[in-house]
Chains A and B, each alone.
Chain A
Amino acid sequence: MIRLLGTKHLLGHRLWIKDFPKPTKQIQIPYLIVGGGISGLSAARQFHKKGISDFLIVELENHLGGNSSNGENKYSKYPLGAHYLPLPNFQDKELLQFLEEEKIILKYDEKGFPVFDELQLTFAPDERLFYKNNWQEGVVPKEGNLISDDLEFEKFFKKMDVFRTAKGEDQKYLFDIPLHLSSKDEKTRALDKITMKQWFTDNHFTSEPLYNYIDYCCKDDFGLGIEYVSAWAGIHYFAGRKQDSTPEKHDSVLTWPEGNSCLANHLKKYTKDKSLKNHLVYEVKVENNKVIAKAFDDVNKTSVEIIANKVIMASPQFVNQYLINDRKAFTKDFHYTPWLLATLVVNDLFDNFSFPLSWDNVIYDAKGLGYVYDQHQTVNQVQDKKVITYYYSFSSADLKKTRKELYKKDKEYWKQFVLNDLKVAHPDIEEYTEDVEVFLLGHGMISPAPGFIFGEAKKQAKQNIQNKIYFAHSDLSGISIFEEAFHQGINVVNEIVDGTTVDS
């Protein structure tokens, strides 16, 4: 069985021509949230915390969660996007608070460190890499390197350790999460002007395994590889997370079979009876001191007019440019990497048994980013069938062109593409695969190409419109991670309710 699924790109494309019926219904609501991804859901939670309950969240898909959604088959849940949350930085009290509310942090120990729920931390063994025809522990190539490779790895990680703890003159971390807390240090921000590859060369690195490893890491977090990603973003991957919330300095992550859908579900409770799904908002404008939003109901094929005092656009900027006037000029600087996810049901996963199946299984020099074993976080002894999710990001110089090609290929093509990429480590995988579900995300995540994070486009896109229309989305931070979206949602509500603004 092969299925080809994806986000509702065809409905989305109707925004280009806007052939929607005239509204036949009207809704009045003080606060409207457009977009049910993590930013929108986090805004809903923050409204709740501020004692505000008269808000409505509108979502195009038939479910809330955005990139933090999941699928489920007979054997397991599996992610359809984001699938883990690194342990938060100790200073990120908002996030720690959320994790404590949801019993992901169970308590704080006598030294003040959070105690994470053992069942939600990645079980051991967490990572393995297929390198030089062997599975080895961890994703850093180790066994089989040249001595010169090992020395470069050592040098590289030392540099990252320095970046991780270094602060600028403003006493802020050079690299922090959320990103806007990072130092304004000019020299560091200049790194956003060059690619990670440039930085690699400038720092006299030459090792191929190191190059591949950094390329893998960049794609993992940003979709873009070392050739195209901003060096500031590339370094942020390693230095942004302080690994300071456990006494052992763990770099482990929290994960669930359904991926970050678990976190989205925690947030969804704040939107009970306050959400409108299958609704595509196609126009938002200020009129008579109110915001008028028009939405198309994809189930009943009718349109609705929503009249709100304030609107939070928790939708990505490539969508917003079609809803609100005068946004196309700066939106063209927002680039989004397409992603492909393939969830496979396999009877077995034979390999050469050099290191056991782990949560994250990476194949060195493969096209994709490897696969996640979706049942890893279960306590069972045995599984009838194994469910794995393969990740592939379309890193390229021309993402638009890539996206067009993505939708041209059929499911058989993608199935073969995925299997061929996995065959390096699992030669028999095709024989053992009984089901493949391919999920395409045309605009998978915002891509921090050089100049974007500290550029003008982002700054302009963030500006609220007449204190009526506000913007909150991870693409406004520049990197697509849970923490950014989570803070975007909180900050926008604080701005609306308390009038506080977050500088950047």
Chain B
Amino acid sequence: MKIAVLSGKGGTGKTLVSVNLASVAGPSTYIDCDVEEPNGHLFFKPNVVRSEKVAVKIPVVDAAHCTGCRTCVEFCQYNALAFIRNKPLVFEEVCHSCGGCVLLCPQKALHEQEKNIGVVEDGYSGEVFVRTGMLNTGEVSGVPIIRKLQRELPDETKTVLIDCPPGSACVVMESIKDADYCILVAEPTIFGAQNLGMVHELVTLFKKPCGAVLNKCQSGDNPSEQYCCEKSIRILGRIPFDSELGAMNSNAIIAARASGKYHQLFTELLDAVLTEVGKPT
């Protein structure tokens, strides 16, 4: 069972929720899909057992064989090739590695070369299998790494927590693609409710069942809670705005492992999630 944890903006508590849920789930898997700034490993401190480079394929031009037909340039939907001074020039940062230009070149004047864009690390932290994707600085898209993160898990029957990147762009879509359930983490502000709306629209589009976790709860109005009521989104649990939790979090301590109170809170939250996942949609 795969449970994705999302939010419309950074800093709402995706990592807090996914790390702690994995920690109370017994034997489980935690996947950090926030490849631009993965931080789940800072909490889990896993013993890394395997590290694999992730590469994409980029076309390389063999100018001596190019006859200037421009088939490659005209084919590219992303305009990653430009025909300059009688030969194609490749813009790597725009290329989506589809390989079409190489296939179509009638002169075989293009070939593919691998380019490393990041790494996937597997490790263990207690009973939790921790998989982390890391995109190299300066690379444009983390999608190829996220694709690799979701493949070949050691035990598919275990509960899998997917810590998604913030927002609702391609990298998030790739992260939730195979999820059975989505947890939307939201802050109690107008901005938080706005961002909750963005991810709620996304998971609705993907026809994924979802529920919300309200983080940083204080007394007073909670615009995110209002949004959930208006849109009939199940509220799975509430996490208080608590300096003790903040201190543990900023010291990379897993609250559910260090505090009885939070062990209970996240165990109840996991139960609520698992009950929801079991329900017919």
Q: Do A and B bind each other?
A: no
By a beta-carbon cutoff of 8 Å, the part of chain B in contact with chain A is none
Question: A residues bordering B, Cβ < 8 Å?
Answer: none
